[in-house]
Amino acid sequence: MDFLELISIGAGMYILYAAFLLRSKGVLTKGIFVSSKVNPDRIRDREGFIRAMFPVSLLMGLALIASGAIGMLIDKTTSFGYYVSLASIGVAFLLVVLFVLRLRACEDKFY
Protein backbone atom coordinates (compact mmCIF):
# COMPACT_ATOMS: atom_id res chain seq x y z
CA MET A 1 0.00 0.00 0.00
CA ASP A 2 3.00 2.32 0.18
CA PHE A 3 2.46 3.36 -3.43
CA LEU A 4 -0.94 4.90 -2.69
CA GLU A 5 0.43 6.70 0.35
CA LEU A 6 3.26 8.12 -1.76
CA ILE A 7 0.72 9.35 -4.30
CA SER A 8 -1.24 10.96 -1.46
CA ILE A 9 1.87 12.72 -0.12
CA GLY A 10 2.89 13.89 -3.60
CA ALA A 11 -0.60 15.19 -4.36
CA GLY A 12 -0.68 17.02 -1.04
CA MET A 13 2.66 18.66 -1.75
CA TYR A 14 1.49 19.72 -5.22
CA ILE A 15 -1.74 21.18 -3.83
CA LEU A 16 0.25 23.12 -1.21
CA TYR A 17 2.52 24.47 -3.96
CA ALA A 18 -0.51 25.49 -6.04
CA ALA A 19 -2.14 27.09 -2.97
CA PHE A 20 0.92 29.22 -2.30
CA LEU A 21 1.07 30.22 -5.98
CA LEU A 22 -2.59 31.16 -5.73
CA ARG A 23 -2.02 33.26 -2.62
CA SER A 24 1.28 34.93 -3.54
CA LYS A 25 0.96 35.49 -7.30
CA GLY A 26 -2.73 34.95 -7.99
CA VAL A 27 -1.97 32.07 -10.38
CA LEU A 28 -4.91 29.74 -10.93
CA THR A 29 -3.23 26.40 -11.58
CA LYS A 30 -4.99 24.46 -14.33
CA GLY A 31 -6.03 21.03 -13.24
CA ILE A 32 -6.37 22.00 -9.58
CA PHE A 33 -8.25 25.29 -9.36
CA VAL A 34 -9.41 25.63 -12.94
CA SER A 35 -10.76 22.99 -15.28
CA SER A 36 -8.98 22.67 -18.59
CA LYS A 37 -12.25 23.72 -20.27
CA VAL A 38 -12.48 26.99 -18.33
CA ASN A 39 -10.58 30.15 -19.20
CA PRO A 40 -9.01 31.51 -15.97
CA ASP A 41 -9.17 35.06 -17.34
CA ARG A 42 -12.99 34.90 -17.31
CA ILE A 43 -13.21 34.98 -13.53
CA ARG A 44 -15.34 37.85 -12.21
CA ASP A 45 -13.98 38.12 -8.68
CA ARG A 46 -10.42 36.80 -8.59
CA GLU A 47 -9.71 38.01 -5.05
CA GLY A 48 -12.92 36.45 -3.74
CA PHE A 49 -12.02 33.14 -5.37
CA ILE A 50 -8.54 33.27 -3.82
CA ARG A 51 -9.97 34.09 -0.38
CA ALA A 52 -12.45 31.23 -0.66
CA MET A 53 -10.11 28.54 -2.02
CA PHE A 54 -6.78 29.24 -0.28
CA PRO A 55 -7.77 27.94 3.19
CA VAL A 56 -9.52 24.93 1.70
CA SER A 57 -6.57 24.04 -0.51
CA LEU A 58 -4.10 24.57 2.33
CA LEU A 59 -6.10 22.24 4.56
CA MET A 60 -6.48 19.74 1.73
CA GLY A 61 -2.73 19.64 1.02
CA LEU A 62 -1.81 19.25 4.67
CA ALA A 63 -4.45 16.58 5.23
CA LEU A 64 -3.31 14.56 2.22
CA ILE A 65 0.29 14.69 3.38
CA ALA A 66 -0.72 13.67 6.91
CA SER A 67 -2.96 10.89 5.63
CA GLY A 68 -0.20 9.43 3.49
CA ALA A 69 2.44 9.75 6.18
CA ILE A 70 0.24 8.19 8.86
CA GLY A 71 -0.67 5.36 6.54
CA MET A 72 2.99 4.65 5.78
CA LEU A 73 4.15 4.83 9.39
CA ILE A 74 1.34 2.80 10.92
CA ASP A 75 1.54 0.19 8.19
CA LYS A 76 5.13 -0.54 9.18
CA THR A 77 4.83 -0.37 12.96
CA THR A 78 1.63 -2.16 14.01
CA SER A 79 -0.01 -5.50 13.30
CA PHE A 80 -3.27 -3.85 12.26
CA GLY A 81 -1.48 -1.39 9.98
CA TYR A 82 -3.18 -2.67 6.84
CA TYR A 83 -6.57 -1.53 8.13
CA VAL A 84 -5.25 1.85 9.23
CA SER A 85 -3.55 2.26 5.85
CA LEU A 86 -6.80 1.40 4.10
CA ALA A 87 -8.67 3.88 6.30
CA SER A 88 -6.14 6.63 5.50
CA ILE A 89 -6.67 6.02 1.79
CA GLY A 90 -10.42 6.26 2.36
CA VAL A 91 -9.98 9.54 4.23
CA ALA A 92 -7.79 10.90 1.43
CA PHE A 93 -10.43 9.94 -1.13
CA LEU A 94 -13.15 11.61 0.92
CA LEU A 95 -11.03 14.77 1.19
CA VAL A 96 -10.57 14.86 -2.56
CA VAL A 97 -14.33 14.56 -3.10
CA LEU A 98 -15.03 17.37 -0.60
CA PHE A 99 -12.35 19.55 -2.22
CA VAL A 100 -13.90 19.07 -5.66
CA LEU A 101 -17.37 19.88 -4.34
CA ARG A 102 -16.07 23.10 -2.75
CA LEU A 103 -14.21 23.97 -5.95
CA ARG A 104 -17.34 23.51 -8.05
CA ALA A 105 -19.32 25.72 -5.67
CA CYS A 106 -16.67 28.43 -5.93
CA GLU A 107 -16.63 28.15 -9.72
CA ASP A 108 -20.38 28.67 -9.80
CA LYS A 109 -20.13 31.64 -7.47
CA PHE A 110 -17.12 33.45 -8.95
CA TYR A 111 -17.31 32.62 -12.68
**Residue 84 in domain:** yes
Q: Running DSSP on this structure, what letter comes out for residue 92?
A: H
**Residue 10 in domain:** yes
- Average the pLDDT over 4-9 and give the result: 85
0.75 exceeded by the pTM?
yes
Q: How many domains does the chain have?
A: 1
| Whole-number Cα distances in Å, 53 to 48, 77, 82, 101, 110 | 9, 36, 33, 12, 11
108-63-23-13 Cα dihedral, nearest 10 degrees: -110
pLDDT given at position 1: 58
**Residue 33 in domain:** no
**Residue 30 in domain:** no
Expressed as residue numbers, the domain containing 106 is 2-24+38-110
Position with higher pLDDT, 78 vs 1: 78
**Residue 79 in domain:** yes
